[in-house]
Amino acid sequence: MAMPVPRNARTDRRGGASASASAAALAALLAFAIAGCAAPVVPAAPGSAPTAVSSARPTAAASVTGTATYRERMALPPDAVFEAIIEDVSKADAPAVVLGRTQVTSIQVPVSFSIAYDPAKLDPRARYSVRTRILVEGRLWFTSDTRHPVLRDAGDTRVDIVMRRVAAAP
């Protein structure tokens, strides 16, 4: 036969901790959790208030990299500007939405580029493509004329593009 367990202020009927002891333990645990979330305080110089150090990190932008070239054997003028753009090309009957853009001056062919974009703006159902062009005095000289898909999966961040010469206006 089992011996009866004496009751006192620290145990309940089943021999466990009392409600007041549980509440005290929970309060202590909550205090430690809140203290762990607080920003550390940096001691201030004499005569000024201490400041909290933010532990929040800015979101790192991802990038699509690549090279662009053209087949013609010609040098570009010094004022030529290369532009590469990541676009959402999901909607056939609507203008493409620009996700990221970069410009390069003082061009040497092949042009290496990196286009920064915000990964939080990606839609998994969307289709993304890179478009490139070279402008001279604001006029289009070269452009990409085929689709160059990117960002279909996590490692799909590199493209190599061959641009075509645009016919001169009459």
Give CA–CA dist 29/38, Å, rounded.
15
5-14, 123-132, 151-160, range with the lowest pLDDT: 5-14
Give CA–CA dist 103/132, Å, rounded.
10
Q: For residue range 27-55, what is the model confidence (pLDDT) as tens digits?
A: 444 444 444 444 444 444 444 444 444 33
Task: Please list the residues that pair with 132 across neighbouring strands.
Answer: 84
SS (H, E, C) 68-98: EEECCCCCCCCCCEEEEEEEECCCCCCCCEE
Count of Cβ atoms closer than 10 Å to residue 129 Cβ: 20
> What pLDDT, on the 0 to 100 scale, is given for residue 110?
92
Average pLDDT over residues 142-153: 92
Give CA–CA dist 93/98, Å, rounded.
15
Q: For residue range 64-105, what is the model confidence (pLDDT) as tens digits?
A: 999 999 999 988 999 999 999 999 999 888 899 999 999 999
Give CA–CA dist 131/104, Å, rounded.
14
Question: Nearest 5°: phi and psi at 67?
Answer: -130, 155
Give CA–CA dist 97/112, Å, rounded.
23
Residues with Cβ < 8 Å from 64, sequence gap 6 or more?
Answer: 86, 100, 114, 115, 117, 130, 150, 151, 157, 158, 159
Average pLDDT over residues 100-120: 93
